[in-house]
Amino acid sequence: MKKIIYLILTVFILLPIFAAPLQAAKEPIAIVIKARGKVYLVPAGQKKGKLVKRGSRIYNNQRILTKAKSYAIIKFIDNGGIVRVLANSFCKFEGKKKKKSLSKNIFLELGSIFNQVFKNRGEYRVSTPTSVASVKGTKFWVQQKYKGATFYFGEEGLVEISNSRGVALLRAGMTGIVESPNSKPIVRKTRKNEKPALDEEEENPDEFRLEFEDAQGNTKELKFKLRKKTK
């Protein structure tokens, strides 16, 4: 009996000592800066997620799942990149601290993401079941078909697509295709309507009001509604 008590006491004394570094190591790698519709954060090793909102933290190996008509915009904490996860997508966020920088990897299992990567902010990679894209300061799309090919669409800068079969460079206006892990990446000119488009944001228009009140307390409001000019 005494042994059990000593054991319990030892565990209770040692637990905080071991838990402290674990706690200290818990640091988000990215933050959700916008979420619309049904966007879930799935912790590592779990199947069910919880709804995210602006400000939700993403830790290493956590995944983002977006349902239909939903999207999320996620920013890495080192300001190294912004990812827009489109509807019906599933991707895992990985981040490893390397001295001054954060080495980032997004593993896209399904769906489409748009990446805006800033220069000199640590390594940034997007991996899919078929290939890996490494970038330094660029904008590009990645689309992963269900149990199928990966498509890359260059918007700006240069993207290196690679897998075990080869390497290809993707430039702005080009489409990179990797049919499977066993096929070489191919790059060609982007065709019309091939590239995913950013969903039309069904957001509330920006508003601000000026309130006027007369001596009787009747109020009238002058309300300004601002919408972004669409091209």
Partner 1 sequence: MKTKLLLIIILMIGTSFAGSFYHQPPATVLLGDPLRLELQESGANLTTFPPTVYYRSLGEFEFHSLPMESDGFNYFVEIPTAKLAPGKVQYYFALQSANGQFYTYPEGAPYSNYYETEILPARQQRSLKKIEINLISPEENEVLDPDEVFLSFSIPLDIENPEKWNYRITIDGIDQSTRLQQEGHVISFVPGSVRSGVHLVSFKVYTPDGILVGQKQFQFRISDIPSNNKAFSYKGSLFLDNRVQSIARNNLNYTRGGLRLIMNYQKFQIDTRMMINSNESPDLQPLNIYSARLKYQFSYKYFLYLWGGDVFPNYDPLVLQGRRIRGISVGLFSKYFDLDYTQGQSKRAIEGTADPLDPQKMLFPGTYKQDFRSLRPRFNFGSHFSWALNLVNGKDDPNSIAYGGNPKQYLVVGSAIDLNLHNRRIVIHGSVQASIKNVDATGEIDFDTLATTLDLSESDKKMARRVVDLFTKPGFLTLTPGLSPLPSLAINIDARLNYFNNNLVLSYKNINADYFTPGNPFLQKDIAGIFVNDYIRFFNNRIFMNVFYNVYQTNVSQDKAKT
List residues near partner 1 by CB under 8 A: 24, 26-28, 31, 33-34, 53-55, 57, 75, 77-79, 97, 99-102, 204-209, 214-218, 221, 223, 226
Identity of the residue, 11 or 33, whose beta carbon is nearer to partner 1 in the bound complex:
33
- Nearest approach in angstroms of CB 99 to partner 1 is 6
Take residue 110 and report the two structure tokens written for it. Answer: 């399904």
- Cα distance between residue 219 and residue 140, in whole Å: 50
Q: At 165, phi and psi to the nearest 5?
A: -95, -15
- Nearest approach in angstroms of CB 223 to partner 1 is 7
- Nearest CA among 93, 96, 147, 99 for reference residue 115: 93
- Nearest approach in angstroms of CB 34 to partner 1 is 8
What is 151-186 written as a DSSP string?
EEEEEES-EEEEETTEEEEE-TTEEEEE-STTS--E
Task: Name every residue whose Cβ is closer than 8 Å to that of residue 15 and which is 6 or more positions away in sequence.
Answer: none
CA angle in degrees (0–180, nearest 5) for 83-59-198? 15
Identity of the residue, 56 or 163, whose beta carbon is nearer to partner 1 in the bound complex:
56
- Nearest approach in angstroms of CB 77 to partner 1 is 4
- Cα distance between residue 67 and residue 59, in whole Å: 21
Identity of the residue, 5 or 24, whose beta carbon is nearer to partner 1 in the bound complex:
24
Identity of the residue, 7 or 51, whose beta carbon is nearer to partner 1 in the bound complex:
51
Identity of the residue, 200 or 214, whose beta carbon is nearer to partner 1 in the bound complex:
214
CA 19 vs. chain centroid, Å, equals 29
Identity of the residue, 30 or 170, whose beta carbon is nearer to partner 1 in the bound complex:
30
- Nearest approach in angstroms of CB 26 to partner 1 is 7
CA dist 119 → 99, 137, 153 (Å)? 17, 4, 19
- Nearest approach in angstroms of CB 135 to partner 1 is 19
